[in-house]
């Protein structure tokens, strides 16, 4: 059920991005203003990550995500209603506010979700589970362009966004009714399964104060991991938020063609996330998690930099789409490594540690979206992609200093296979 929630979250996020081509002329908004509306989501989402982790550890995943999911549905429904209720400059303010609330509501999903994965799965499956979470999110993102473009062409962008928001209500209700915070609270988990889950180092997440949490987290490793994630997420947000407009404006595809072609990068990302999560688990079991988690980012991130450069300089538009698709798949291939690493480093405070990591990831978008909006609005798409190539290289370099088997004091945390 959490995987479905991840997919719905990304579908909700993509609504304004896909509808932007219709929203701009109809509401007299500039591309820079669309960028600010996208940025509003991250303005609330980014600083709420750590707090969301603390809330999740205090009140449990069941209540936290049920409330957050309900608010996210309301924010999603509000977006297409704004032009019907407001006029003039208030329309931009209303759209901005709807995305601000959506960002606040979605903030707990991945920090709290990582705590769920830690509580319900043995450590040897954390990479695969993290990859599956990212894969589900990308499948939601992949479905958004084709579904929303089809509905926009038939019924207009407002009805398209309104109707696609409604199925989320059933998911929120099902989550509140069925989900439990830990396997110990579920009658469907056998004693044998519970024994497998509660191996040393995989105790259920506990409530934590800010002071006790800070004292238990390995600061150096989490800082480097977060810095790397920040850099790599400039590339993520570049491809996730701007592929559709890039194909229309720079590669001159039609809106209908772009709607279908824009599904290819997130589909590749979904496949990459699932494959990458399984890969890091297998490699960690074979050579240990220290290098098992490092190798994938150290190989794929420089490859991503090369693909970004090639994508903007090749003449053929379909070749550029292929390059962007492969690039996005490799970006998400690393999700399992990042999130399994933060789960090992966070220990019983995984929700808070995951909030720190996702704060860094969101900063990549918070910084990058205005940059890409400005550059693309002035026709400088190539520069936006070249900045992404530089960020990918910096992200790779940080992994040389990341050792998930160490704490701040240098004590081992189980450097062998898990």
User: What is the average per-residue pLDDT within 276-289?
Assistant: 92
Predicted confidence band of residue 246 (pLDDT cuts 50, 70, 90): confident
* Residue 418: predicted pLDDT: 32
Predicted confidence band of residue 259 (pLDDT cuts 50, 70, 90): low
Residue 94 pLDDT exceeds 70: yes
User: What is the average per-residue pLDDT within 292-298?
Assistant: 93
* Residue 398: predicted pLDDT: 95
Is residue 414 assigned to a domain?
no
Q: Give the integer Cα–Cα distance in Å for 99 and 105.
A: 10
* Residue 103: predicted pLDDT: 94
The residues, ordered by sequence, that sit 6+ positions from 192 with a Cβ below 8 Å of its Cβ are none
Q: Give the integer Cα–Cα distance in Å for 52 and 251.
A: 40
**Residues 161 and 148 sit within 8 Å (Cβ to Cβ):** yes
Top-ranked range on mean pLDDT: pick from 28-37, 289-298, 319-328: 289-298
Convert the pLDDT of each residue in 155-208 to its tens digit: 998 999 998 888 888 999 998 888 888 777 777 777 777 776 665 444 444 444
Convert the pLDDT of each residue in 25-58 to its tens digit: 889 888 888 888 988 998 899 899 999 999 999 9
CATH number at residue 326: 1.20.1250.20
Q: Give the integer Cα–Cα distance in Å for 291 and 219.
A: 20
Is residue 330 assigned to a domain?
yes
Mean pLDDT over all residues of the chain? Answer: 84
Convert the pLDDT of each residue in 216-227 to its tens digit: 678 889 999 999
* Residue 321: predicted pLDDT: 79
Is residue 163 assigned to a domain?
yes
> Is 266 or 19 the better-scoring residue by pLDDT?
19
Least confident residue range of 17-21, 156-160, 334-338: 17-21
Is residue 195 assigned to a domain?
no
Is residue 108 assigned to a domain?
yes
Q: Give the integer Cα–Cα distance in Å for 74 and 94.
A: 13
Q: Give the integer Cα–Cα distance in Å for 188 and 292.
A: 33
Is residue 127 assigned to a domain?
yes
Is residue 270 assigned to a domain?
yes
3-state secondary structure the chain: CHHHHHHHHHHHHHHHHHHHHHHHHHHCCCHHHHHHHHHHHHHHHCCCHHHHHHHHHHHCHHHHHHHHHHHHHHHHHHHHHHHHHCCCHHHHHHHHHHHHHHHHHHCCHHHHHHHHHHHHCCHHHHHHHHHHHHHHHHHHHHHHHHHHHHHHHHHCHHHHHHHHHCCHHHHHHHHHHHCCCCHHHCCCCCHHHHHHHCCCCCCCCCCCCHHHHHHHCCHHHHHHHHHHHHHHHHHHHHHHHHHHHHHHHCCCCCHHHHHHHCCHHHHHHHHHHHHHHHHHHHHHHHHCHHHHHHHHHHHHHHHHHHHHHHHHHCCCHHHHHHHHHHHHHHHHHCHHHHHHHHHHHHHHHHHHHHHHHHHHHHHHHHHHHHHHHHHHHCCCHHHHHHHHHHHHHHHHHHHHHCCCCECCCCCECCCCCC
Q: What is the pTM of this model?
A: 0.78
Q: Give the integer Cα–Cα distance in Å for 364 and 238.
A: 9
Residue 286 pLDDT exceeds 70: yes
Residue 83: phi and psi, rounded to 5, are: -65, -25
Q: Rg (Cα) of the chain, in Å, rounded?
A: 21
Q: Give the integer Cα–Cα distance in Å for 235 and 88.
A: 34
User: What is the average per-residue pLDDT within 121-134?
Assistant: 87
* Residue 147: predicted pLDDT: 87
Query: What is the dihedral sign for C-alpha 149, 154, 160, 164?
Result: negative
Q: Give the integer Cα–Cα distance in Å for 304 and 300.
A: 6
Top-ranked range on mean pLDDT: pick from 120-134, 257-271, 333-347, 360-374: 333-347
Residues of the domain holding 338:
2-180+203-401
Number of domains in the chain: 1
Top-ranked range on mean pLDDT: pick from 58-62, 243-247, 253-257, 307-311: 58-62
* Residue 109: predicted pLDDT: 92
Is residue 197 assigned to a domain?
no
* Residue 252: predicted pLDDT: 64
């Amino acid at each position: 059920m959490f995987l479905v929630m991840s997919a719905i979250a990304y579908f909700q996020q993509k609504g304004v991005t896909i509808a932007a081509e219709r929203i701009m002329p109809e509401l007299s908004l500039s591309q820079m203003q669309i960028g600010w509306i996208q940025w509003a989501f991250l303005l609330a989402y980014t600083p709420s990550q750590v707090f969301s982790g603390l809330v999740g550890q205090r009140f449990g995943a069941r209540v936290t995500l049920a409330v957050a999911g309900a608010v996210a549905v309301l924010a999603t429904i509000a977006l297409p209603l704004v032009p019907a209720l407001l006029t003039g400059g208030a329309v931009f303010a209303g759209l901005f506010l709807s995305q601000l609330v959506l960002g606040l509501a979605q903030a707990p999903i991945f920090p709290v979700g990582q705590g769920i994965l830690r509580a319900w799965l043995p450590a040897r499956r954390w990479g695969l589970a993290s990859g599956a979470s990212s894969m589900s999110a990308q499948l939601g993102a992949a479905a958004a362009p084709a579904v929303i473009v089809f509905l926009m062409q038939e019924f207009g962008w407002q009805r398209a966004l309104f109707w696609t928001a409604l199925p989320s209500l059933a998911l929120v209700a099902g989550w509140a009714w069925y989900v439990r915070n830990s396997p110990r609270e579920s009658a469907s988990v056998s004693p044998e399964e519970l024994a497998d889950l509660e191996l040393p180092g995989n105790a259920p997440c506990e409530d934590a104060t800010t002071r006790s949490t800070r004292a238990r987290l390995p600061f150096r490793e989490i800082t480097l991991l977060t810095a790397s994630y920040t850099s790599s997420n400039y590339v993520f947000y570049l491809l996730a938020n701007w592929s559709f407009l890039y194909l229309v404006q720079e590669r001159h595809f039609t809106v209908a063609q772009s709607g279908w072609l824009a599904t290819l990068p997130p589909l590749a990302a979904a496949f990459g996330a699932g494959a990458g999560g399984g890969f890091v688990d297998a490699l960690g079991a074979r050579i240990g998690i220290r290098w098992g988690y490092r190798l994938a980012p150290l190989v794929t991130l420089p490859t991503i930099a090369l693909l970004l450069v090639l994508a903007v300089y090749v003449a053929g538009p379909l070749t550029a789409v292929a390059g962007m698709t492969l690039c996005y798949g490799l970006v998400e291939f690393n999700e399992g490594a990042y999130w399994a690493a933060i789960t090992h480093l966070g220990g019983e405070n995984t929700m808070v540690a995951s909030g720190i990591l996702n704060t860094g990831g969101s900063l990549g978008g918070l910084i990058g979206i205005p940059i890409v909006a400005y550059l693309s609005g002035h026709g400088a798409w190539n520069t936006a992609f070249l900045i992404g190539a530089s960020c990918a290289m910096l992200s790779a370099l940080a992994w040389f200093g990341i050792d998930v088997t160490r704490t701040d004091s240098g004590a081992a945390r189980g450097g062998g296979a898990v």
